[in-house]
Structures are given as structure tokens and as C-alpha cells.
Structure 1
């Protein structure tokens, strides 16, 4: 069964028939987690690196929306709820595209990648694969049975 992961959402499954999907990762970052020992897969669709000062309480209401909270929440869910050892996790990063608009001064894609990597470093976690940056929109399909990830790309359009 397909489990669709929207912006600021996550999914975890140990059902080998499930496929975790997220669509059109542009500046957003997709972090996948796979535990082959327990057959558990997880995916989060991160929108922003962190909340603004004005909306800092938003990270409690939408923890999967921001890299600063989404990364530890997803890892803790996979490890604590599913019993996966942290040192056995296979992690991959996707998305974080740059806008094709030359006037984009925010560089949200780059900031999302930087923040996600920083949190992983702070948690002493390494990622196995990275398909980030550039000017591509990425759609992910992750097989829970194998941890295999299919990436479909399209050029970004303004």
C-alpha cells in the first residue's frame, strides 16, 4: 500500500508491502531512514530549516515541518518505537534544490540541506546516499521490504 508523505509530514512502516512516497521535493528535503535488521522504513518531508523567531512555538505543533525538529523526531520514532539500533540505520538525503530564479536571495534549499546535515552530525549519524541541490524537483518512492529508493526528477520551473 502506498503511504503518501506531504510537506511537513512523515511516515514509518514495517509492512513489507508498503511504499513510502513523497512528491515534488524542490527546496524541501526528504530524509529516508531504513533499518534492515527490523525491516523498518521512515521518510520525512522537511519544508524549512527552522521556525522564524515569531513562530518558534510552531515547531511543537508541526515538528516534521522543520529540519531542526524533524530529524531527531524521525530518528527517535524509528529507534524508540520500532526498536531499531541507531548504529544500524541507513540514511539518505534528497531535495534541497536551488531556485532557478536568479533573484532568489533566500536559498532555502541550501539552508535545508545544511541544517539537516548539521543535526545528523550532532546526533553522530552518517548518511549513505545524497541526491541534493541542483535545479531538480525529486519524487521519492521507498520500498519498505528492501529500503530501495526510486528517485524521479523533473527540472524546476518558475
Structure 2
């Protein structure tokens, strides 16, 4: 079965016939996590670095790097029995805007927030494909942890 992860969502599976997919990562960041020992795969698609005072409850914890990433790992540890040392962590997305006047630089800020959140959790990124000016779609196989990345140039 294919699980589709939307913006501000995460998913975890231990069913080896499953795949996990997310579409069109531009400035958003996806973290993929895999335990080859337990055949457990997880993915989160975050849109913003951190919540503001008013938008956390409206958008949900997984919408933000600083709140969603810890939630993903909490579930991997407590529900699926994974341990830190068995997890392979990849990061994708965080594209730069093709507009020259982009003052917000959300893509870069999402990458920085994801990196610092993972560091606070004492987790190491094993592979990163971030930045640039392309949109990325990911397909992750639960059986192997393999992540297929499809890119498309960003347009105005």
C-alpha cells in the first residue's frame, strides 16, 4: 500500500510491501528515517521552521521542524521499538526561491531548523539533498529504506 504524506504530516510503516511518498518538496523539508533491523520506515513533510504563538494548534505539530521532527522520533522509539543507533536519517528539500527578492528564505531556514532539531536529539543525518532550485518528490520503500527522488525545476 502507498502512504502519501501531505504538508504538515508524517507517516510510519513496518509493512514491507508499503511505500511512503511525498510530493513537490520545494521550500518544505522532508526527513526520512529507516531501521533496517526492524524494517520500519518513517517520513515527515515540514513546511515551516517553528510555530508562532497563533498557528501551532491551527496547523498541527508536524507542520513545523522544531515540533514535528521530535514527534516522529518519539513514535519510532515508543511505538515501533526503534533505537537511535539503528536509524538512517536523510533530509530532502529546502529549495531556494527563484525570485531574487526573497527576503524570507524559508527553504534555508527549514533546513537549518531541521538540522538543529536533529542535533538537539543527538541524531546524525546520513544523507542530505537540500537547496537548489528544484522541487523534489520522494518515494520510500519500507522493505529496503531506499528513497527515489524525482526532481522538477521550480517556476514562477
| TM-score bucket of the superposed structures, by smaller chain | over 0.9
Aligned residues: 156
What is residue 26 of structure 2 aligned with on the other side? 26
TM-score, normalised by the number of residues in structure 1: 0.96
TM-score, normalised by the number of residues in structure 2: 0.97
Q: 1:51·1:58 contact (CA, 8 Å) conserved in 2? A: no
Q: How far does residue 130 in structure 1 lie from its aligned partner after superposition? A: 0.4
Q: How many angstroms apart in 1 are the aligned matches of 2:15 and 2:101? A: 44
Q: Which runs of 5 or more residues in structure 1 are unaligned?
A: none
Q: How far does residue 127 in structure 1 lie from its aligned partner after superposition? A: 0.9
What is residue 111 of structure 1 aligned with on the other side? 109
Q: How far does residue 8 in structure 1 lie from its aligned partner after superposition? A: 0.2
What is residue 126 of structure 2 aligned with on the other side? 128
Q: Which runs of 5 or more residues in structure 2 are unaligned?
A: none
Question: For residues 74-153 of structure 1, what are the structure 2 equivalents within 5 Å?
Answer: 74-153=72-151
Q: How many angstroms apart in 1 are the aligned matches of 2:81 and 2:51? A: 30
Q: How far does residue 53 in structure 1 lie from its aligned partner after superposition? A: 3.4
Q: How far does residue 143 in structure 1 lie from its aligned partner after superposition? A: 0.1
Q: 1:32·1:93 contact (CA, 8 Å) conserved in 2? A: yes
What is residue 67 of structure 1 aligned with on the other side? 65
Q: How many angstroms apart in 1 are the aligned matches of 2:36 and 2:63? A: 26
RMSD, aligned CA: 1.1
Secondary structure of 1:121's partner?
helix
Q: How many angstroms apart in 2 are the aligned matches of 1:90 and 1:99? A: 29
What is residue 57 of structure 2 aligned with on the other side? 58
